Structure 1
């Protein structure tokens, strides 16, 4: 019998900056998210470092004094990885690695690593590999730092550059090959989507870890992988769902995130074809998250990038069971009531006034208000279906077809 071994988490420190564009509150929130990303990737955050700056240092991201503090802490506590909250240039990464003498990652590299771990299908693995190659290409020089120390000498003139150019050509060829492979798979998937007929298509979209896969499981009665980690789902899953004899296709898509690497947005745009071709979007939001409104903005921004911002959308505020407003200190006369003190009822009235009946408040895990959710989705899908098939008396025995002919 095999002994069960404990999984050892990789010890890491996080490094971020506080600037005019990114104040202390926002910086803390980004580092909270970075810590969750680190945990998802298999790491354990033991300390955070932040520094107030006008703008990040072009050579080392943070100042020399703070960098020395980080170096000493890493040395004294046997830390294996330093993770920076913003994308580092190849020069910054090289300089920092020399100073800290440990593995140096940025947010982009960390997200790419998580995607590589989570990719299950050939398509997702190809997309992740393409994003990794595009990230790697401008950083190849840093991999030949061992040759920089070999100055002069017979036979030592320029071998580093030769090897770098060779590697660049290999990576460029690999990128071209992966792009062709993705084009081929895209064509196959396009044919598959065409074979689904004219059924109404509904897509779940939203920030990562808001409960899309859990909601998918509840509605479609299927077993889509779901857990409390970022990017639990990478591959788009499509299921046929029937509500009151009305069939439609429901798809679960990859979650979005702020500061999403450009390489991943480009690589996964084809995966998001399910969103582009959807008739209705269900924008799932984790209302228990203190900054969920920023998450909504991030998702809307990416929807705009893939030309899907104008689609009919229902806002689905999930995790109402976990929502806890901050208590307002009535004894302190200077304390003003803000949105963080709103009750669930106040949020409902706020969003109802913004989007009308296109706002729903549910708990997928506890199945709270799911009947209202199904009824609202049914009404919307039925409306789309009637437009597409106006004379289907089997599905709509009470529908007066003369309304369309007037």
Structure 2
């Protein structure tokens, strides 16, 4: 999601400068590659790149192709085959073992629902959306429709190509609705005068992080969250601590008593919370309110004895704590990486939150006996999601 935010910002800057732009999207990968379908990069006519479609090996050639796209105002599908010696001779040398298809489409600001406009609309709504990108593998020199559809729970936005085509049985829209329901990316083929392939992509909103505590150790946590593009809120009862001056990278900084805090924040299934006020009673009051909510992550800074004591006090007060509620509480918060100091602790905490949100173990990749981007294992009845 951070990549999409950066791309939209770069596009708006280019518009102010009167520059043409093109959007490159990885739409299909056969085998292994550094980036997966859905990776994007914006290219301006003066050669500025925002985002990434590889580890750096494709960007130079994609820039040259994008300049052609901007000049001709016609989308282009480019294929890089790591098993092809000619690609190596051209200097691509991906070092992977797959075939990568990249769609490069011109961004026409006057066109209705152009690709960046659809990306921007996707960012403006804090809900899971589906983007559909159409391309032709059969006729790479023919029509390449590009980003044609944005679907969310309450709206559908189509570009001019999609609106002007009478799809048989409206199958593409129906498949997008199914992807939204199952939360699964899918690639399918459709025939309308030409055969097109569609990459139907599920796009989740950026994670939200709520930090209860505005001490010095919360500062690097908000900074790291900002680097990742997460939406961050800092809450504390001390007005001298909870100030925008101390937390310039936080989206919101709130001064609030514990009993009023939750009424001032928005919480959903992509929200993680860390309790680090260093005030036992404040953390206890927040834990009491947070446990019944459907949060994926509640982190408690400090020793395990502190968390055990808080849980015991809540039980003694007659509060039932279910195994499901306990499973989402992490204390001490963070992965065991030998962290010392606020910055390293922040790294440990953010890594654990990311692992939990992605349903990953946080173990070394070298110990993984399946592909890095294998479907994550579903839990609690949820569908698997391809990353």
- TM-score class, shorter-chain normalisation, is under 0.3
Q: TM-score scaled by structure 1?
A: 0.24
Q: TM-score, normalised by structure 2?
A: 0.25
More helix by share: 1
Look at both structures and tell me which one has the larger radius of gyration over its CA atoms. 1
The structure with the largest strand share of the pair is 2
